Structure formats: structure tokens, C-alpha cells
Amino acid sequence: MHNLLVTALLWTLLWVMQANLTERNMLESDLRKAISQNQLELYYQPQVGDDGRIVGAEALLRWEHPVKGMVSPADFIPLAEQTGLIMPIGHWVLGAACAQLMAWSNNPATAQLRIAVNVSALQFKEPNYVSQVISVLERSNVNPSLLTLELTESMLVNDVNDIITKMNALKSKGVCVSLDDFGTGYSSLNYLKKLPLDQIKIDQSFVRDMLTDEDDVTIVRTVIDLAHGMRLHVIAEGVETQAHRQFLADLGCHSFQGYLLSKPVPIGDFETILLAHNTAAAT
Ligand code: C2E
Ligand code: MG
Ligand code: MG
Ligand code: MG
């Protein structure tokens, strides 16, 4: 009787594992198609400066799956990284963001807007990553100083000297480098000192409960002070309420991104928000 139960359990387990594997394989082959069949899209989430004007946007990847609908990057970026598909996807993202910068460059209302693009640690590790970025910038004829690359602390498992060399090469072209999700990963103050960063981005997990949690306030305040001391630009993500925004501004945070202003939206909606918002901010 006991044996029978164990056997049944094992079979169930095997079946579940097999089903998961099949599901994963299907998602992988779908993701492969997504690139060639134009199912990927960039959404844009506004970033505002301390005067309240929209100064740019973070480009966030969306996958419109033909059957499943919108698949979240949290669900497919890890798979893309495991399968190496992050390389062509990351390349597509950069190209699409630069094409957008180019499209904005002829209109005075949009010519100064910046775009921040997320870069996977695996992409950044590629030996020719810097030349790839530069050639995309040149091909699209875009001012490199309008592009920000958001890197995460997870890249620090790789050779730090190589990271520094690459950052400096990008910076010499004018590209800005930001450390995303700051404080959630592997970084130490030692790295912060060594890396030639332009910006740090306070992770939303610290912002969320900042108004009620003493520890979060301390972390946020310390990160902002650190940024000031190191002459880095500091931006907060996950700014959901006016109270968040005011509190961060009082601490000296330079820019803000979050649902307070807008969720990430398709480009047409972003331009509508931009027009309404910056016109209002100017009057
Ligand atoms: P991230 O780079 O930290 O992006 C911020 C995430 O927080 C986005 O989720 C955004 O929609 C969400 N968010 C923004 N404001 C708020 C807010 O006020 N409240 C809350 N609760 N959430 C907010 P999203 O778009 O689902 O992206 C998740 C993650 O996927 C990103 O985190 C980034 O790590 C990754 N990702 C997105 N696009 C790309 C990409 O093109 N390449 C790579 N490598 N990763 C990407
Ligand atoms: Mg980001
Ligand atoms: Mg982030
Ligand atoms: Mg984050």
C-alpha cells in the first residue's frame, strides 16, 4: 500500500515536471518567433525632473503573445536570458529606442527627451557590446547623450575591470550609465566608488513603504545623500503618490518615475501625456 502511494506520487511529480518542461519549450519557441513576427513592443514610462516637466522615459519591453495576450517582462526576460535570446531581443530594444529618439529629434517639443533602456548583465558581458551600441547610435544618427543604459548590480558577478572599461568607452561617446534597482543586489560601496556611473536609481521596494517604515526612510535618505556626495544623478522608481514624490523631493531626489504620473504606455499615449503634462507645467 505504502509502495503504491510512493509510486503514484513519483509519477505525478514526473508528469508535472514534464508538463512544465513542455510549457517552457513552447514559450521558448514562441519567444523566438516573437522577434521575427514583430510581437515585441516598447512601452514608455515618463520620468519627471524636479521642476515637474517630463524629461524622458524608460523604455519597457512588452510581448503581445498571439494566444496568451500581454506577457510581462518579469515572465520572459529570465527565459530570454537562459536561452541566449536576450541578445537579439536586447539588440531590437536598443534599435527601437534609438529609432524613437530619431523620430523625436526634429520636433522642438521632443528633441531634448531622453530614453533609458534596460540592459541585461549577459548583454553587457558580450565582448563587442560597446561597439554594438555605438554602431546602432551612429546608424540611427542619434545624439548619444540622450540615451541612458540601465544596468543592474547583477552584472557585478562579472569581471569588474571589464565593466569599468566598457562604461568608460560608452561615456566617452556621451552615453549615460545608470545603476537600476539600487540596493537590491550585489553592490557594495566599494563598487559604487569604482564604477564610473552617471545615475543611481532607487528601487521601488524602498520607496513603497518609505512613508511608514523607518528603515526604508533611512535607506532612501542615505542613498540620496550618497548620490549627492558622489555627484551622481538620483532618480526614484515606484513613485505612486504625491506624498511619495514630495517626500523624495524634500530629501533632494532629482527625478521621479512611477504610477503617480503614468504607468508604462504605448508611444502614442506617451506623446499625449507629454503634451498635456509639459504644457501644463509650463503655464
Ligand atoms: P525595472 O527596470 O526596474 O522597471 C521598473 C518596473 O517597475 C516596470 O515593470 C514598471 O512598470 C514598474 N513600475 C514603474 N512604476 C511603478 C509604480 O509606481 N509602482 C509599481 N508597483 N511598479 C512600477 P515592468 O515593465 O513589468 O518591467 C519589469 C522588469 O523587466 C524591469 O524592471 C526590467 O528589469 C525588466 N525589463 C523590462 N524591459 C526590459 C528590456 O528591454 N530589457 C531587459 N534586459 N530587461 C527589461
Ligand atoms: Mg529599469
Ligand atoms: Mg528599476
Ligand atoms: Mg525595479
For ligand 1, atom 46, the nearest C-alpha belongs to 118
Cα gap 41→39, rounded to integer Å: 7
Mean pLDDT for the chain overall: 94
* Cβ atoms of residues 228 and 251 within 8 Å: no
Question: Residue 191 Cα, ligand 2 centroid: separation in angstroms?
Answer: 19
Question: According to the model, what pLDDT value does residue 239 have?
Answer: 98
Q: Which residues contact 264 (CB under 8 A, 6 or more apart)?
A: 43, 44, 45, 58, 60, 62
* Cβ atoms of residues 188 and 126 within 8 Å: no
Confidence of residue 1 (pLDDT cuts 50, 70, 90): low
The per-residue pLDDT for range 129-151, each reduced to its tens digit, is 999 999 999 999 999 999 999 99
Q: What's the rounded mean pLDDT across residues 36-44?
A: 95
Residues flanking ligand 1, CB < 6 Å = 45, 60-61, 72-74, 77, 90, 93, 118, 120, 150, 180-181, 204, 237-240, 257-259, 264
Q: What's the rounded mean pLDDT across residues 169-181?
A: 97
- For the record, the C-alpha cell of 211 comes out as 512613508
Q: What is the pTM of this model?
A: 0.93
For ligand 1, atom 12, the nearest C-alpha belongs to 238
